[in-house]
A and B are shown apart, each in its own frame.
Chain A
C-alpha cells in the first residue's frame, strides 16, 4: 500500500464548479498534513496546511479525519487559474520526510 494515495483524476470541471479531492495516508503517527499545488513544469508550492479542526482559506477548505486517516480539499467556485495538479502531502512522525501523494490533475474549463 502506498504511503499517501489520492483520487487518480484527471478532473475536468466547468468554471464555477465545486470540486473535491480525497487523500488517504497509511502512517497513523503522521503529525502534519498539507495540500500543495504544482503547475505544469513548475515546482510544488504550498496551497494550505491542514489542521485537525479543518480550515478554510477563501474558496479552499481542507478537512482532516485522523481516525480514518483521510484528508480532503474542497474548491468552490473554481477558476481557470485553479487548473493544476494538487498534491496531498504528509509529514512523517519524525518530522523529517514530506511524503507526497501521486497528485490529482484538475482542469477548469471555460
Chain B
C-alpha cells in the first residue's frame, strides 16, 4: 500500500496552461505539505496544512493554490504555468508534533513538471 500517493508522476505542459497535481495519504496524518525541488535539487516548502487548514504559505506566487477537501487529501492547482515552474513537486504528510516524538515526514514519489 502506498502511504502517500501523488498523481500524475510526470506532467509536460505548455506555458499558460492550468494544471493540477493530486495527493492522498492513507496514514491518518493531520498535517500535509507541498515541497518544490528545483533544478539545483533544493527542497523548499510551499504550503503546509493541518486538518484542512492552511498553516504555512511561503512566498509562492498566487498562481499556486492548494486545496484540501479533507485531511487525507491536499491538491495543488497551478494557473498560467511559466517556464520557471518546471521542477519536481513533492507531497508529504506527518503526524502532529505534539503527539508523536518520532515525527517524520513521509513523501510521495514526486511529480516531475516540465513547462515548455
Contact = CB atoms under 8 A, between A and B. Distances in A.
Interface of A: 31-32, 34, 42-46, 49, 85, 87, 89, 91, 94-100, 102-103
B107 A97 contact: no
In this complex, the interface size class of chain B, counting residues with CB under 8 Å from chain A, is 20 to 34
Contacts of B11: none
B18 interface: no
Contact of B56 (A34, A42, A44, A97): A97
Q: Is chain A's binding surface mostly helix, strand, loop or mixed?
A: strand
Nearest to B104: A46
A1 B2 CA distance: 37
B16 interface: no
Given A43-B90, A45-B107, A96-B48, A102 B41 contact: yes
Given A43-B109, A91-B97, A97-B56, A103 B102 contact: no
B74 interface: no
Interface of B: 31, 33, 35, 40-45, 48, 50, 55-56, 90, 92, 94, 96-98, 101-105, 107-110
Contact of A100 (B44, B48, B98, B103): B44
Contact of B42 (A45, A46, A94, A100): A100
A46 to B, nearest CB: 5
